[in-house]
Every structure is written in structure tokens, then in C-alpha cells.
Structure 1
């Protein structure tokens, strides 16, 4: 099955969340899809992030992750998801922050001495660190439709879905369908 990275796949608002959201249906073991399990998709993600990621201007042109650093990126992805998901649902958990900081440190240590363009793993570590230091953790939300993490940057903090055009429309269509079905049954 061919997969294409589109703008919707970068609805998290930061590179760290977009990377965390690369696991589809994370909590459904039978339907779970890890988009980074395919190395070509992981490399394509770095290219697509240059076009679609909200933070792409901050990092410049991102390079794909080197083969030796892929494991570090996956560890960082999982630590990012655990920490920020817990921040939304249960509040601050110091042990998850420690795990996140260790994963960030591991990626940054493995980055070597690059001075020009950043690789995806290094940029993700910088993004996760900035997000962890954010003064407004209440802007972090979980989409009720797909379960992705995203930043609510709306003025009144009322954003509900990661992407209104996809998840918002699906949710509204589902409500309309059930309402129509109920009315037809009366």
C-alpha cells in the first residue's frame, strides 16, 4: 500500500507532535500502523516536513535520519507521546519528563558535529525540548476522533480536533448520520 505524507499528517502544530502522531490508531493493537516502520516512509516524512510542518521555517531544510540514529528517533517519538499524552490526561508526571529528557539527550549526543542542515531526529529533539519548556501546557490537546496530539493555538483555546477538515468533518458526519437514523426510526 502506497502512503503519501499530506498536510493533514502535520496537524500537530510542532514537529515533535507530528512525529509522535506517526503511529496511527496507537491504542488499537489490531489496527495500529507505525508509519515509520517503512524506512522509505520515514525518509519521505523528513522531505514532507520541509513543506508541511508548522516549525519548518525554524529548522531550515530537514535531512532524513541516518540509519544509526533511527532507533533514537523512535525512542524519542514514544517518550514524546507518553509525556505529552500524560500531560493532557493526568497532569505533570516527573518520571515521564525524565524519560523524555533522556531521549532528547540521546538524540542530541548522537547528532555529531553537524553545523548546516539538521536531520529529522535532531530537529525533533529541539522541538520536543521547546514544547516541554512551554509555559502553556493547557494548549496541548488530544483529538477525540483520531487520538492525535496537537497544540491548540486558537485565541480562545476552543479547538477540538487536530484538523477540522478531516476529523471535525468526520465527527459531524457521524453525529448527523446517527441523528438521521434516530429520526427515521421514530
Structure 2
């Protein structure tokens, strides 16, 4: 199955969250899709992050993850999701932060620059470290439609969905459908 990264896939607001969101339907084991299970899709993520990512200016041009570092990126992705999901739910735990910091350290110990650019795993480690040090954990949210993590950078912190054009519209359409069914007595 062919897959193309789109701007919607980078709705997290930070590279580390976009990487964590590379698992679709994470909470549903039967329908869960790991976009990084296909190595070509993982490789194309770096290029897509260069085009669509919120932190593309910060990191410059990202290069794909070296083959020997792929497992470290997956470990960082999972530690990122566990820690920041708990933070968004106001259930922060020291052990999850420790796991995240260990995953970050494992990547940063072996930093290699490819032609003056950062690799995706190194940039993701920097992004996760910046998020962990953020003084505003209340800006971290979970989309009620898809379950993705995202940063709410709205002035009044009222953002509900990761992407209004996708998840917001789906949620509104679902409510409209159910309201119409109730009105018709179905």
C-alpha cells in the first residue's frame, strides 16, 4: 500500500509529537497502523518534515535515519508518546520522564551529521528534550477524534483537535449525522 505524508500528518506542532503520531489509531490494537514499519515510509518522513513540520526552520534540512539508528528512533517515539500522553492527562510520572531522557541520551550519544544536516532521530531527540523542558505542559493535548498528541498554541488555549480541517470536521459531521438520525426517529 502506497502512503504519502501530508500537512495533516504534521499537526502536532513539534517534531517529537509528529514522530509519536506516526502510529495511527494507537489505542486500537486491531486497527493500529505503524507508518514506520515500512522503511521507505520512515525514510520519506524526514523529507516530509522538511516541507510540513512546525520545527523545520529550527533544525534545517533533515536527513533520514541511518539504518543502525532506526531502533533508537522507535524507542524514542514510544517513550515520547508515553511521557507526553501522561503529561497531557495530568498524570506525569518520574519513571516515564526517565525513560524519555534515556531514549534521548541514546540518540544524542551517537550524533552524526550528514552533509551539514541533522538526521531525523537527532532532531527528534532535540525536539523531545525541548518539550520536556517546556514551562507550559498545559499546552499539550490529545485529539479526541484520532488520539494524536498536539501543542495548543492558541491564545486562549481552546484548541480541541489536532487539525480542525480533518478531525474537527469529522467530529462535527458525526454529531450532525447523529442529530439528524434522532430527529427522524431512526
Q: Place the TM-score, normalised by the shorter chain, in its bin.
A: over 0.9
**Residues of 2 paired with 1:124 and 1:149: CA distance?**
15
1:114 positional shift = 6.0
1:6 aligns with 2:6: yes
Task: Using structure 1 for the length normalisation, give the TM-score.
Answer: 0.97
1:1-150 equivalence runs, <5 A: 1-112=1-112, 116-150=116-150
Corresponding residue for 1:184?
184
Which portions of structure 1, spanning 4 or more consecutive aligned residues, are displaced by more than 3 angstroms?
112-115
- TM normalised by structure 2 equals 0.97
Q: 1:129 to 1:157 in 2, by over 3 A?
A: same
1:111-151 deviation line (CA, Å, top 9, x unaligned): 24668210000000000000000000000000000000000
In structure 1, the residue matched to 2:169 is: 169
Change (3 A) 1:64 1:15: same
Note the residue ranges of structure 2 that are not aligned, 5 or more in a row: none
Distance in 2 between the 1:44 and 1:114 partners? 16
The CA distance in 1 between the partners of 2:125 and 2:82, in whole Å, is 15
CA 160–119 in structure 1, closer or farther in 2 if over 3 Å, else same: same
Distance 1:48 1:7 in 2: 8
Q: In 1, distance between residues paired with 2:45 and 2:117? A: 16
The superposition leaves residues 76-100 of structure 1 with CA deviations (integer Å, 9 ceiling, x where unpaired) of 0000000000011143210000000
Alpha-carbon RMSD across the aligned residues, in angstroms, is 1.2
Residues 152 and 158 in structure 2, CA contact (< 8 A), matched pair in contact too: yes
Aligned residues: 186
